[in-house]
Structure 1
């Protein structure tokens, strides 16, 4: 009985917990846009840490996984040093310069013209002639700097004063009140319920609110779950299909 509990319950939980802890220690960078070192760590730790699920070599697998993690952290530290960085870190490659496609850069990165054009379209550009500089970064992401005449219009180009950006602060998510955000704003639930009543909703109708956020005017903006209005026939809410 103890053997079954170990194999089917405790062992998977321990393996998962160790893997999760190792990746938390490795940091966000290792699980986002990956460099060569990040990929190596991910594949190595993933392979090593899954070994105990099929065998009984849990201590040895944990040891090797920790060794790989230590090497990964050491390599990252060395890559911050200019003397080592040139040897450990892959340099960016130019793909377009002053509107002209760099064929050598494409061959080096094994990119086709169609793939390059696709990368440009992802950035909102269709013509390589509009690009001042396009490079492929160490992470594999293509960075694009358009020419002056092709770049999006900026507020400063219009010579007008712009207000500072304000990020709406969520106060209600899926019908649940976020008390920590209310505390941050030095508000309370009474204030929130008053704002809801101004919008025509009571505290009992919180389940209708998908998102409630305080905007730059100090007012409460609501996004409601309209699926509960089963009998609505508003033309603006039409959905294609035969389920209307």
Structure 2
């Protein structure tokens, strides 16, 4: 048929979507090297049948790639050494507030690029970072210095003098409001 490429394209696209859905929900930024290779291979295999008229083989090949991906992920869970070999490990790039220049070189990232990525994460000053790592998925993991950390509920409870687990509603500040009793302020001039 002259227009059979239309329905073949639709079948291949649908099969590709189903197989990629089965393969997992990882976003592109979280894909490991193995996942990236498999996804590129599936994309290549999906395009080929339109030209070669081999839809069954393309879908079968894509299914083999997905099974291979499952096998690799399973083996990485079972053996830590294999995970380290295939996916790698996080690399420290800032430790105790100090840039680890040699590790920046290993990850092929410049200080300027690190600053850009930290700004994208909401960190205004590289000096505010206590520890940072380049994760295996290419993202930056970081811990802020004590002075740069946002206030947590626990911090607020300590500041207000609350017992751990006591809600803010039971604090001294709100007892007056809940009891609808407001002590009359004493004017120091009258004393």
> TM-score normalized by structure 1?
0.61
CA distance in 2, matches of 1:31, 1:96: 25
Is the CA contact 1:93–1:105 (under 8 Å) kept in the aligned structure 2? yes
Residues 14 and 126 (structure 1), Cα distance of their counterparts in 2 relative to 1, 3 Å cut: same
Q: CA deviation at 1:51?
A: 0.6
Which residue of the partner structure matches residue 20 of structure 2? Answer: 23
- Deviating above 4 A after TM superposition, structure 1's stretches of 4 or more consecutive aligned residues are none
Alpha-carbon distance between aligned partners in 2 of 1:113 and 1:30, rounded to the nearest angstrom: 26
2:133 to 132, 135, 138: 135
The alpha-carbon deviation at position 162 of structure 1 amounts to 5.2
Q: Which residue of 2 aligns with 1:174?
A: none
- Residue 40 of structure 2 corresponds to residue 43 of structure 1: yes
Q: Secondary structure at the match of 2:114?
A: helix
Give yes or no for contact 2:45–2:58 (8 Å, CA) kept in 1: yes
1:98–1:129 CA contact under 8 A, matched in 2: no
| Matched residue count | 160
Residue pair 1:30, 1:38 contacting (<8 A) in 2 also? no
Tell me the distance in 2 between the aligned counterparts of 1:90 and 1:102.
18
3-state secondary structure, aligned to 2:137:
coil
Q: For structure 1, which runs of at least 5 residues remain unmatched after alignment?
A: 164-244
In the alignment, what sits opposite 1:69? 66
| CA RMSD between the two structures | 1.8
More displaced stretch, 105-114 vs 151-160 = 151-160
Q: Which has the higher strand share?
A: 1
Cα offsets for 1:164-201 (capped at 9, x unmatched)? xxxxxxxxxxxxxxxxxxxxxxxxxxxxxxxxxxxxxx
Once structures 1 and 2 are overlaid, which stretch shifts more, 111-120 or 78-87? Answer: 78-87
Instruction: Output aligned runs, 1:1-244, within 5 Å.
Output: 3-8=1-6, 10-29=7-26, 31=28, 33-81=30-78, 82-159=80-157, 161=167
TM-score, length basis structure 2? 0.77
Specify every segment of 5 or more residues in structure 2 that has no aligned partner in the other structure, as ranges: 161-166, 170-191
Aligned to 2:187: none
RCO greater where, 1 or 2, for CA within 8 Å and sep 6 or more? 2
Deviations 1:130-160 (A, max 9, x none): 2111111111110110011111111221215
Which structure is higher in helix share? 2
Larger radius of gyration: 2
Give the structure 1 partner of residue 172 of structure 2. Answer: none
